[in-house]
Structures are given as C-alpha cells and as structure tokens.
Amino acid sequence: MRPVLRLALALGVVLALSACSDSSQGTNTDREQVDSVEPPELGACRVLTPDDVAERSNATRTVPCTERHNAETFAVGPLPEELEDADYEARELGAFAYRTCGAAFERFVGADESLVMRTVVSWAWFRPSRKAWDEGARWYRCDIVGGGEQSQRYVDLPPTAKGLLQGRPKDRWMVCVAGASVQDAPKIPCSEPHTWRAVTTIKLGEEDDPYPGDRLVEVTTRDFCSESVGAWLNYPPEYEFGYTFFHEEEWIAGNRRSVCWARTSA
C-alpha cells in the first residue's frame, strides 16, 4: 500500500517538494514575498491550495487570521550552519524540515506523533525562492494546513490552530475514509459519513535504525494492527481492520510509524 497522508505527518508534502519547481502563484501572489531574503512572518495566515503546498517556495498573500484561512505559519527560523552550502534541492533539507517542523507541529497543536498522524491537518514547509537562495537566504517556514497529500481542498482553520488537538480532539479534525478500503481513498474528517477511522499507530524503529524492507514493515504492521484494532473495538467476535505503511523514502525522511484503521461508522 502506498502512503496516504499527510496524515499529519506531512511526509507526502516533504517528498512532493522535491518533485516540483518554483512557479507563479497567480493573482494570490504577494510580489514582495516572491524573492525575499528576509524570513517570513511567524503566525501569518494564508489561503493555500494543494498546488501551493507542492512548491518549494511560497509567496501567497497573507490574510488576517480572523478571516477565512486554511494555513497558519507556526515556525520560522534559519537553516543550521551545516546546510548553508547545501544544494537548493538537497535531500538533507527535507530531512531537517521533517525533524524540525514535525517536532514544532506536535508542540503547536498539543499532540504526540501518533495522534497527529491520525488527523486531517498536516504541515508543509517552504524555503526561499531559488533567486533568494542564490543571494544567500537560508530560512525555513513551517505551516499547518487543513488537509494532506490526498486532499483536493483544504478545510478552514480557527483563528489560531495552537492547541487544536489538545485533550480529546473533535471529529472534524480526525481522519477517516469513506470507501471499500483505506487504500488510495480520499481522506475526510470523521465528522462526515465514513466507513474507516484511523485509530492507532505502530512505531517500527528508532531514528538511527536502517530501513527493514517493505515486506517486514508490512507484516509487522499487519500483525500489530490486527491486535490493536481488535482491542480498540473491545474485541468483538468479528471485525475488519486496515493499515497504511510507508516505504524507504519516507523512512529516510524520518517516519518510523504505520497507521491502523478500524472499519466503523462512528
């Protein structure tokens, strides 16, 4: 099974950035931001599209956070010294962003890695434009967005998403699927009619562990999810479960978890 997101892990977003080039963002572009070498504004809100998120850099106009928006900048900072001479498209940049934005995202929304992987919100990161990069700009920007890799549109966020997942998150922020299986099905909020809900995750290794291979990852995930989903459903006589595991490229980026799904309408 191929990755489904951005379960908030945003893995797909990290990887997508390496496959797309800078492009005009149309009438929603703030020309002052396009090639700016100055770090972006922390706490700024925007209306982004999946196409925006697929770009390496972003100059979408900011909007007041009290108005409709689906993205909020929750972390901004300089790249570390060891990346100052990195190539603009270096894989190391994505790995740094995964660690840095991922940890900041968990703190910002008030959840652990397992929970953020089971929500409809995720994060995206951006770097300076290539021109600004060539002029010496070395900053990163992390945005929470109201959707993931497979989202055709993003949901609106509250005036601030800080603490969004603290306590028991509302179903509107949790990820579900309406379909025969979890594979390649659009992810939707659990507040909408659904047939599958992401209920648990399994950690498959530590940070320095080598990738164990697709087969071992799948078998380990399947066996764990069978037991975990049964326990989550309070061990009914019959039940259906699904699972999402990720592959070597996501492992290299930093992900060590798979997701377990329960077939349920609630």
pLDDT tens, residue order, the chain (266 aa):
323 333 333 333 333 333 333 444 456 898 999 999 999 999 999 999 999 999 999 999 999 999 999 999 999 999 999 999 999 999 899 989 999 999 999 999 999 999 999 999 999 999 999 999 999 999 999 999 998 877 777 999 999 999 999 999 999 999 999 988 888 778 889 999 999 999 999 999 998 899 999 999 999 999 999 999 999 999 999 999 999 999 998 888 788 999 999 998 66
Same domain, 249 and 190: yes
Residues of the domain holding 226: 172-263
- pLDDT number for residue 84: 93
Domain boundary among 127, 145, 163: 145
By C-alpha distance, which of 174, 168, 179, 178 is closest to 191?
174
> What residue type is 122 in one-letter code?
S
In a domain, 153, yes or no: no
In a domain, 118, yes or no: yes
If DSSP codes are grouped into helix, strand and coil, which group holds residue 62? Answer: strand
In a domain, 158, yes or no: no
- pLDDT number for residue 254: 83
Same domain, 197 and 109: no
Same domain, 121 and 26: yes
In a domain, 27, yes or no: yes
Same domain, 42 and 118: yes
Cα-based distances in Å from 220 to 109, 223, 229? 29, 5, 14
Cα-based distances in Å from 221 to 53, 178, 204, 216, 228? 29, 22, 8, 8, 10
In a domain, 232, yes or no: yes
State how far the Cα of 201 lies from the Cα of 180, in Å rounded to an integer. 21
Residue 54 C-beta-side C-alpha neighbours within 13 Å: 13
Domain boundary among 94, 129, 145: 145
Burial of 97 (0-12, 13-18, 19+ CB in 10 A): buried
Same domain, 66 and 103: yes
State how far the Cα of 228 lies from the Cα of 225, in Å rounded to an integer. 5
Same domain, 104 and 184: no
In a domain, 214, yes or no: yes
Same domain, 15 and 98: yes
Close Cβ partners of 115 (under 8 Å, ≥ 6 residues apart): 165, 169
If one counts the domains in the chain, the total is: 2
Domain boundary among 129, 145, 161: 145
Same domain, 138 and 229: no
The answer, as to whether pTM is greater than 0.85, is no
By C-alpha distance, which of 20, 27, 38, 29 is closest to 59?
29
Q: What are the b/e assignments for 129-142, b being 16+ CB within 10 Å? A: bbebbeeebbbbbb
* Spatial contact of 50 and 152, defined as CB atoms under 8 Å apart: yes
Same domain, 113 and 222: no
Same domain, 92 and 215: no
In a domain, 41, yes or no: yes
Same domain, 17 and 121: yes
Same domain, 24 and 115: yes
